[in-house]
Structure 1
Amino acid sequence: MSIWFLLNGMLLIWAIWNVAFGISSHASYIHILLGFAGFLLFIFNWTRNAVFSTIRNAENRQNRIRLARMSKRIRPYHRWVGTSALIIILLHGWAVIELYGFNLTNMKILTGFLASINLFVLVLSGWYRLLIDPRIRVRKLHIRLGITMFILVAIHFIF
């Protein structure tokens, strides 16, 4: 099993904890639910990285075949799930701005803003790779943007 499965699981548990705490302490919590929905879509897509990492490191051929088949079934939906995550996260950002205003000195808003820009470029690079340029350089950029997104989401949860 890949370390990414463990990290994704820990981030998911942390997100559930933040959502439960946020819902109990806010009068209006639609922005929290939108953010959580967008996060779930992102983490679903990002878990494909964990699957690929496990495929590369697995010694058992049958496990590699099983994981590759599962990933192949999910692949047609990958870009649409990412695009949906972007739309939901933009709605989350709009709801936050309506409630709290656009104040980049607030670390929660700043990290969310940076994460949303990163998610936009991440989704854009995925579509660019499909439609225009499938070279390895674009794939590596896409993976690095995914790692950056993971880190930015974790930092966003801290604040």
Structure 2
Amino acid sequence: MSIWFLLNALLLLWAIWNVSLGISSYSSYIHILLGFAGFLLFIFNWTRNAVFSTIRNAKTRHAKVRLARMSKQIRPYHRWVGSSALVMVVLHGLAIIHLYGFDLTNMKILTGFLASLNMMVLVLSGWYRLLIDPRIRIRKLHIRLGISMFILVAIHFLF
């Protein structure tokens, strides 16, 4: 099993903890649910990275084939899930701006803004790779954007 499975699981548990605290302390919590929905869609897509890592490190051919088949079944939905995550994150951001204003001195808003910009480029790079240029350079960019998205989301949860 890849280290990414563990990191994804830890981030998911942390997100559930943050959401449960947020729902219990705010009277209006639609912004929290929108952000959590976007996060769930992102982490679902990002778990494919863990699957690919596990395929590379698997000892038996049977395990590699099983994981590759599972990933192949999910692949047609990958871009649509990512695009839906972007929509949820944008709605989350609009709800936050409506409730609290756009104050980039607030670290929670700043990290969320940076994460949303990163997600926008991440989704665009995925579609660009599908429709225009499938070179390895774009794939590496897409993976690096996914890693930075993971880190930015974790930092966003800190504040």
Opposite residue 128 of structure 1, the aligned amino acid is Y
1:24 aligns with 2:24: yes
Stretches (4+) displaced over 6 A? none
Name 1:138's counterpart in structure 2.
138
Query: Over the residues paired in the alignment, what is the CA RMSD in angstroms?
Result: 0.3
| Distance (whole Å) between structure 2 residues aligned to residue 93 and residue 56 of structure 1 | 37
Tell me the CA shift for residue 110 of structure 1. 0.1
| Distance (whole Å) between structure 2 residues aligned to residue 63 and residue 90 of structure 1 | 38
**What pairs up with 1:10-159 in 2 under 5 angstroms?**
10-159=10-159
| Distance (whole Å) between structure 2 residues aligned to residue 58 and residue 3 of structure 1 | 13
Tell me the CA shift for residue 60 of structure 1. 1.3
Measured against aligned partners, the alpha-carbon deviations of 1:72-121 in whole angstroms (never above 9, x if no partner) come to 00000000000000001000000000000000000000000000000000
| Distance (whole Å) between structure 1 residues aligned to residue 141 and residue 7 of structure 2 | 21
Opposite residue 54 of structure 2, the aligned amino acid is T
Opposite residue 20 of structure 2, the aligned amino acid is A
| Distance (whole Å) between structure 1 residues aligned to residue 77 and residue 57 of structure 2 | 25
Report sequence identity in percent: 82
| Distance (whole Å) between structure 2 residues aligned to residue 59 and residue 81 of structure 1 | 30
Q: Which runs of 5+ in 2 are unaligned?
A: none
Q: Which runs of 5+ in 1 are unaligned?
A: none
Tell me the CA shift for residue 35 of structure 1. 0.2
Name 1:8's counterpart in structure 2.
8
* Number of matched pairs: 159
Opposite residue 142 of structure 1, the aligned amino acid is H
Q: TM-score, normalised by structure 1?
A: 1.00
Tell me the CA shift for residue 147 of structure 1. 0.1
